[in-house]
Amino acid sequence: MRLRFLVGVLLLACHLASATAHDAIRVSDPDRAAYRAPCDVVYMSGLLLVANSKSGTISILDAESAARCSEWKVAESLVAMQRCGRWLLALDPVTHQLIVIGLDAEGRTLHVQQRLALPRYPQNLAVDSASGQVAVASLWSRTVTFCTLSEAGRLMIRTRTSMPFAPGRLLFTDSDRLVVADNFGGEICVLQSDSGQICRTVEIDGHNIRGLAVNPKTSSLMVTCQTLDSRSFSTYEHVFWGVLMQNGLHSIPLVRLEAADDARDSDPESLKKTETATYGATSVSREPSKSVGAHSQYPLGTPSIGSGDPGAMVVTSHDATLLVISGTNQLAFRTASHLPFERLKTGRRPEAICLDENEDVAFVANRFEDSITVISLTGNSPEVIRTFSLGSMRQLTTEEQGEQLFYDATVSLDGWYSCHSCHTDGHTNGRLADTFGDESKGAPKKVTSLLGTADTAPWAWNGSRESVEDQVRTSLIISMQTQVSTEQLPIEPLAAFVRSLPPAPSVLEATEQLVTDPTLTQARHEFVRAGCSNCHAGNAYTTHDSVDVGLVDEIGSTHFNPPSLRGVSQRGPWFHDGRATTLQEVLRSGHHAPESPLTPEQVSLLELLLKSL
């Protein structure tokens, strides 16, 4: 009893210690060469605050003079930062914390007010300053957490919502509603902010949603994303005309996101069918759709002017829209909703954008160049007025060079898309693509997740590639239709980056339910007993040969390489053609032994196991 009490006190002490753990530490030599990789930028009373993802630091700059004031280490790594009243909120994806940060009156020093533990793998946050509400999307644990921030800078968790997908971008459309987008595919959920309940789900004709904004003039939700046509294939013509991959700005009237009982919208499929425009080569229009009340799509790219990986966006109160095109190092802008987009050049991989308080200036954070592009909005047309450096950059490793190429749309023909456009953040956009992995067309394949791929030789669904290098060469020449000459293909850095990607954490691991449950032990036995481990063997749960498990593709191929099962719970739909939309469907399909279907008990044990790998 006494011992238990002591342990309790000790645990509490540890908890308190970690809750108030280290304050912000001033970087003593801000001129040191580093690789900061800024991911977010916030404007606050004459200052620019920049969250640096790789260094886990926040840089403070004078917004007017570009002078670097100081740099503060606040985390292992950062993924996002927002302002809420006089506080800064930043997310650390390594310690899974939301950090509340305060600035002194002159904005010269930072201090950490609170570190709040969150569901694992926090990825993004949204703030409603008026009500002090904060919402955080946790990627692999598929959770949205609602908090309230008090005047005094204390966060309190209000409620949590389990999401049907791995959430990425999110935005309060007003104090009552939060819009949450799938980080990989094209689903969007609307959540009630008081209860956290999902009241509406909309599927847009796209994936890789990277920008969300409300246009107050048109009362619509704007969404930047990409659309991959699975019926098309990666030939020069199809890429050139933007048929294989389009990059678009979608606009959904806010009223359409309101009522769950609105019969017109209750079926996302019908929304998709009736309201998605085609992006055919000849039907590409420079004008946005005129239809009022309908979901419209505005194609951002035109032949020979690709627009790979459109991203973050802001809409001013005067109806101007500014959005970054992360893959082509540009900013697209229009000064009114009815006008076409024009472009400006930014630094390498613009990822975040913010405005000053009067909407006179926009600041763009360039992730791969450690810089901020400053754009004046006061003239007839936006123009770049200067570029701030966040400090000198160190030499990049081969892997880091590979990462930059992986996210670079200029590697593809005319800049239409990057590797990340299909293998979103190294994972999968969940779509099918016909990239001739099997040397013939007409049999599109599910885009494979590259997370943990290093240990899964051979590569491609049919196991035809013996090395990652081999696959990357094909990806560059065929999937990307790259115009880089064969001798200069950047195979080595890309392969090094791909190899460095760790497997996705399983759903059970991410939600911290991976206990030493006797059921899990039983499930492991069942995996062996049912013969799964004959093909899904070893640490990576795969084997070298390609086998016939009773699935035939459109061109009659029957032999496929057993996919690795690590992180398998995070990457539906499953099978080479995405025919199974749940893991239960995979198990019930009896693809390994149709003559002896698994019993319901076996199915539930194996499903548990798959969610733990």
76 versus 554: smaller Cβ distance to ligand HEC: 554
CA 14 – CA 18 distance, rounded (Å):
6
**Cis peptide leading into 382, omega within 30 of 0?**
no
277 versus 476: smaller Cβ distance to ligand HEC: 476
Query: Binding to ligand HEC by residue 407, rule CB under 6 A?
Result: no
**Phi, psi (deg, nearest 5) at residue 607:** -65, -45
Query: CA angle at residue 24 from 19 to 26, to 5 degrees?
Result: 160
Q: Which one of 340, 531, 538, 597 is in contact with ligand HEC (CB under 6 A)? A: 531
Region of 22-30, 60-68, 293-301, 574-582 interacting with ligand HEC (CB under 6 A): 574-582
Nearest to 222 by CA among 248, 246, 196: 248
CB 178 within 8 A of CB 136: no
* End-to-end CA separation in angstroms for the chain: 38
CB of 508 to ligand HEC, least distance (A): 15
137 versus 460: smaller Cβ distance to ligand HEC: 460
CB of 211 to ligand HEC, least distance (A): 20
CB closest to ligand HEC, residue no:
437
CA 443 – CA 553 distance, rounded (Å):
6
Contact characters 458-477, ligand HEC, x per CB under 6 A: -xxx------x--xx--xx-
- Residue 70: CB partners within 8 Å, gap ≥ 6? 26, 27, 30, 59, 60, 108, 109
CB 76 within 8 A of CB 56: yes
Residue 460 gets the label, from left (phi > 0), alpha (psi -120 to 50) or beta, of left
CA 611 – CA 103 distance, rounded (Å):
43
Query: Binding to ligand HEC by residue 226, rule CB under 6 A?
Result: no
Query: Binding to ligand HEC by residue 419, rule CB under 6 A?
Result: yes
CB 179 within 8 A of CB 257: yes
36 versus 207: smaller Cβ distance to ligand HEC: 207
- In this structure, the number of other CB atoms found within 10 A of the CB of residue 153 comes to 18
CB of 470 to ligand HEC, least distance (A): 9
Restricted to residues 491-530, the positions that interact with ligand HEC (CB under 6 A) are 494, 498, 530
CB of 68 to ligand HEC, least distance (A): 35
Contact characters 430-449, ligand HEC, x per CB under 6 A: ---x-x-xx------x-xx-
Query: Binding to ligand HEC by residue 422, rule CB under 6 A?
Result: yes
Contact characters 358-397, ligand HEC, x per CB under 6 A: ----------------------------------------
Query: Binding to ligand HEC by residue 606, rule CB under 6 A?
Result: yes
Q: How many residues bind ligand HEC (CB under 6 A)?
A: 51
Query: Binding to ligand HEC by residue 549, rule CB under 6 A?
Result: yes
Q: How far is CA 180 from CA 143, 205, 212, 346, in A?
A: 10, 16, 9, 28
**Phi, psi (deg, nearest 5) at residue 514:** -85, 70
CB of 501 to ligand HEC, least distance (A): 10
CB 149 within 8 A of CB 132: yes
CB of 610 to ligand HEC, least distance (A): 6
Query: Binding to ligand HEC by residue 333, rule CB under 6 A?
Result: no
Query: Binding to ligand HEC by residue 423, rule CB under 6 A?
Result: yes
CB of 364 to ligand HEC, least distance (A): 25
Q: How far is CA 26 from CA 30, 31, 70, 103, in A?
A: 9, 13, 7, 13
199 versus 551: smaller Cβ distance to ligand HEC: 551
CA 298 – CA 301 distance, rounded (Å):
9
Binding site for ligand HEC (CB under 6 A): 234, 417, 419, 421-423, 433, 435, 437-438, 445, 447-448, 450, 453, 456, 459-461, 468, 471-472, 475-476, 479-480, 494, 498, 530-532, 534-536, 547, 549, 551, 560, 562-563, 565, 568, 571, 574-576, 586-587, 592, 606, 610
